[in-house]
Structure 1
């Protein structure tokens, strides 16, 4: 298996530099940026602990760059859907304040069912920082716990919601880590052997970063460090503080499919829990498997994977029943276990009915007068992208009608309901543009599947639906829908993952401006880890710092695309108030 070229590392570094330039693009000078930051701070209740105050910034030159604390990102006022009235800050009434996590991807890097050998074709197949996902997520929890509330309303957070891909390969071990990160408790982030690490990070292959070895792998050739004691520190037990805020969960494709792409028909359960780990493929086999995955042909990919595991180059690892994959019903049931109740609510959105039937969609209160709707947009037929089943779409429409005073029928005619308008925020894993996977669900073959365009069309018929909040793309992207018709307007708020750089989460606040408009404030936050990683610091905080720095330098990453622009970062999103 040939190594990737140094040119790819250089391209990655150049993209990272471009990303940071893009973040501050509207500001002609540092002085202009500083004036914008001062104006931002003057409008806020507080900015400490958010990217309004400071954000990770690369320093130095070369293919591998250290991170340091850089200037924050000013607020951008977006008037795509409604005008910004003067004096609204003094009239503003906070209605809701909550936090979105997304794409944590807590990963069992020692699992036999991983595709690290496809990294040169699929960038997410292997990340040099994969084995620090659990500590990185716990550090993000620490950040949220340290904040008093939303920076613009000052309201304490009513909840945190994680919008999918909470696990990386839907294993029970990963699910336990995720639930414990969120609720608090002791975590040992390793599977298999209790005395030795058994993943590609000590494989001796120059294709992967071998952090403890002097091996001149391709990562070290590009500046990645050798860190004695790194692996033993990464897998040692630690205590996660857990959130002090109630939390909810939405399912993502990595929570129900093999590496988020292949249907789990229980054919690989013995491979998950067994003792053979495939760590390398020749070019022809790797290209064939990657093509099947990228082309959305899960049946071909699954058949090929079984063949390769049976006859390919494998490493013997310690079998572990904790790696067995969970089902949808098992996912819901785990959230009902009292060990994971934490700050609540009991079930974190799921009920005993969900644990029985595996239906992972529900409603929940965000704040008085503000309803949250959590959807399941995964498709168990495989392929990373999603869709929504007819039964769930029908349920969603009836739910929206039950909380709406008025809406529009499919012909565009106004309909008056019997309820007062309640503000609605919809959550899903997939975005409107990543829901084109209408393959029949193998567990419900007769049910139709519907695209993101269809879902968006439905949401836009209900004027009290303010926003659709999602993840999946691993990038910051805020999109205005319905520019021409205020009654059909809503904001789509897509937030970057917490595994790929920039490793963000997002505070979302809703405020009434008392002028017929509402403001949705979106503020990005980073983990509590120090910005600069120290080779001599392998504490929990030090490892979380390494998690961020290694992610920034991942040669297969796309920081420029994932970071987004200023209008996707810290924003005030204006929208017409329903009935206003």
Structure 2
């Protein structure tokens, strides 16, 4: 999207997006009464729906450009039968096999970091978000929501784990990683860097390009209806205590966890910029357009441009240097998870071992429940660019894992191989989706390891009947895709969930049940954070800040809430699948 169209928010594009989002939710129903009947029928099939979007979901209110949020009606369960048809009596016959939670794309952001490109927002929508100073508090509120739930709404099983599928940090800084580990395991957090007694970022710069929340200055955001919130920045950066999950949790790595702004290869050239005392707050339009193009198409030249800007491209704002902003490597990422102070409810290492910390190989297996195996993949490519791929060594490892847990599979020519001694259902987790794994640039740290696409990965998974789901993030959108329509035994579901930084700020509850009729049901239920829907621009308590985080994300002028929300068939679903071996 070009600069001109991005500026349309000043004339009401954000209101149009809000209306589109509401239409998207309500569209499948002929009337509110029909929707209410569908919601009631969905609840009747469940053990409990409170605290999920089966009961209620955020909805926009008001007629102005800036929308307020309120509690809206819940979303019904949509039964998807593209891969199998279920029997009529399955609700009373089913047995729960697994129940777990997916977080994704938390993007815990050090908003005062010198290595941020807020001035590129009109070219790259994720470069600046008006609510990003509240990412840590928003994630903590999501943890509180999961802690409030007793288990899966359709099986009633307690959650065995929470998996965060990447982009847990925004700019792979050590301080962001520390915040992530503390949010997940619990403890005191001060979401501030540099001089922690004050804010040193673009939101008190006096530039019209950014929302200046504490000031009466009429920036572009206030002209579009954004509020003035006295004390906002001080409150966003003050210390608080995160509850931490009560459920064991695991981590999958994303591109923002291993590269500069999730896009540029980290070759060690910008280390002094990360920890230094100069922050670029703006550049002229021509320079911004050139840098944005380089970030998206020529990562190596983008690094050189950044270094040049710091040497005189201005304006450069002095900020307090902070060694905690140093970027971490994949080895350090794994090692940080092994800190005993971060064990929380476990498991120790949260999927990573000392071998992972020594090698930097961030893929592993773990038990989800009896008879259900989890596989966490590393689909990042350290050559740069946001999209990913999978290395040859990892792909070979994955195939060996699948063979170890399968009694039979299909060879590349379609013949059946019967060799395994055990059969477990397999759920894969990755950051990238099947359609965002086309980045096959050679990995600069493993030049002789080939790279493979999402299409190749799908082909491999379809050879193993016990693969039932692939759960991922990256797109910041809800989308559920069936794979393998032609041969039921070779089918699986791809479950892509929206981020918790962009609206709708969802996480997903996933349950697997055996219907004892030759099919499995995978229930996918979206949840929001524990924040109230109503906001108070004069209050900065913890619930008020978490509520504001959600509402600001909805109104972010560069965001596309309708597109991220997905359709009703991507929300609360029952995904039917032929049971392997049936």
Partner of 2:334: 332
CA distance in 1 between partners of 2:45 and 2:152 (Å): 12
1:536, distance to aligned residue in structure 2 (A): 2.4
The aligned residue for residue 306 of structure 1 is: 307
**Would you say the 8 A contact 2:403–2:420 is kept in 1?**
no
- Correspondence for 1:555 among 554, 557, 563: 557
Distance of aligned partners of 1:4 and 1:370 in 2 relative to their CA distance in 1, 3 Å threshold: closer
Task: Report if aligned partners of 1:75, 1:570 keep a CA contact under 8 Å in 2.
Answer: yes
Q: Which residue of 2 aligns with 1:516?
A: 518
Of 451, 461, 464, 1:462 maps to 464
The separation in 2 between residues aligned to 1:310 and 1:495, in whole angstroms, is: 41
Structure 2 residue corresponding to 1:160, chosen from 162, 168, 180? 162
Structure 2 counterparts to residues 387-406 of structure 1, below 5 A: 387-406=389-408
Correspondence list, 1:224-243, <5 A: 224-243=226-245
Residue number among 37, 40, 63 corresponding to 2:39 in the alignment: 37
Matches within 5 A, 1:68-467: 68-295=70-297, 297-313=298-314, 314-467=316-469
Q: Deviations over 1:129-159 (max 9, x none)?
A: 0000000000000000000000000000000
- TM-score (normalised: structure 1): 0.99
Contact 1:426 1:468 in 2 (8 A): yes
How far off its partner does 1:307 sit?
Answer: 1.3
- Does the 8 Å CA contact 1:107/1:131 hold for their aligned counterparts? yes
Which runs of at least 4 in structure 1 moved beyond 6 Å after TM superposition? 1-4
Contact 1:3 1:206 in 2 (8 A): no
Q: Deviations over 1:496-517 (max 9, x none)?
A: 0000000000000000000000
Unmatched runs of 5 consecutive residues or more in structure 1: none
Q: 1:127 to 1:213 in 2, by over 3 A?
A: same
Q: Report the number of matched residues.
A: 579
> Is contact 1:3-1:218 (8 Å) kept?
no
1:59–1:463 distance in 2 versus 1, CA, 3 Å: same
| C-alpha contact 1:4 1:218 (8 A) present in aligned 2 | no
CA distance, structure 2, for counterparts of residue 453 and residue 397 of structure 1: 15
- Secondary structure of the corresponding residue to residue 525 of structure 2: strand
Structure 2 CA distance for aligned equivalents of residues 152 and 102 of structure 1:
22
For residues 335 and 246 of structure 2, the distance between their equivalents in structure 1, rounded to whole angstroms, comes to 22
Contact 2:154 2:511 in 1 (8 A): yes
Aligned mates of 2:308, 2:89 — CA distance in 1: 66
SS, match of residue 401 in structure 1: helix
Structure 2 CA distance for aligned equivalents of residues 36 and 543 of structure 1: 33
| CA positional deviation for 1:9 | 5.7
CA RMSD of aligned residues (A): 1.2
1: distance between equivalents of 2:7 and 2:353? Answer: 50
Please give the per-residue CA displacement for 1:367-398, whole angstroms capped at 9, x wherever unaligned. Answer: 00000000000000010000000000000000
Shift of 1:21: 1.1
The answer as to whether partners of 2:6 and 2:558 remain within 8 angstroms in 1 is no
Alpha-carbon distance in 1 for matches of 2:119, 2:171? 16
| TM-score normalised by the chain length of structure 2 | 0.98
